[in-house]
Amino acid sequence: MSDLEEPKSGITRRTVAKAAAWSVPAIALAVPTPAYAVASPGIIELTGDGCKLPGNATDIFKGYAFEAIINNPGGTAVTLSITDITLKGEDLGDVTVVNLTTCAELGSTFVVPAGTTDLRVAIITEEAASSANGQLNLTYTADNVPDATTVTANAAPPIVGNSCNTYSDAEKACIEAALT
């Protein structure tokens, strides 16, 4: 517009278009989320901490107990099923999950209630081909939507004695109870 032109009064098409563009995301956010959307990666978060189950040193078989945090802040319960776990590419066999708060064994397939946040669990493996640490790969499904989580595990000392400080004595007792 030049200095000689008078400004137009009223609302321009550009102003209407800008307002419409800003209003669309607000409307989209108000739409209910489909149930499968809560099954995005991140329901199981591996902390990278864990302990080796000593095997030959005690009656506990040789495996691992990896710490994990489970979150399902959505409004719908989610069924999780752990389908595979490997360390350094080596299969760690079957797994069971133990709720460290209630000491309940959840198994490898379990329901995470809606609104669950920061549920601390131990993922216990059946096997440990070697005692070396390395990249831990956990694959699970959440209501039949595949998700994969990969972390690098920290040092995993034996669960007996004071060298394993990932778990309290009470949590170690929960883990040992799940193994019997």
Q: Which residue intervals of 10-129 are DSSP H helices?
A: 13-29
Is the per-residue pLDDT at 71 higher than 60?
yes
pLDDT of res. 109:
95
Q: What is the pLDDT of residue 39?
A: 37
CA–CA dist 148, 78 (Å, integer): 16
Q: Is the pLDDT of residue 30 over 50?
A: no
Residue 19 has pLDDT above 50, yes or no: no
CATH classification for the domain delimited by 36-179, as one of 2.40.50, 3.40.50, 2.60.40, 1.10.3470? 2.60.40
Domain limits of the chain? Answer: 36-179
What average pLDDT is seen over the chain? 74
pLDDT digits (tens, 9 = 90+) for 94-148: 999 999 999 999 999 999 999 999 999 999 988 876 666 678 888 888 886 666 6
- Asked if 157 contacts 103 with a C-beta cutoff of 8 angstroms, the reply is no
Which pair of structure tokens corresponds to residue 171?
A: 């949590």
Average pLDDT for 45-51: 86
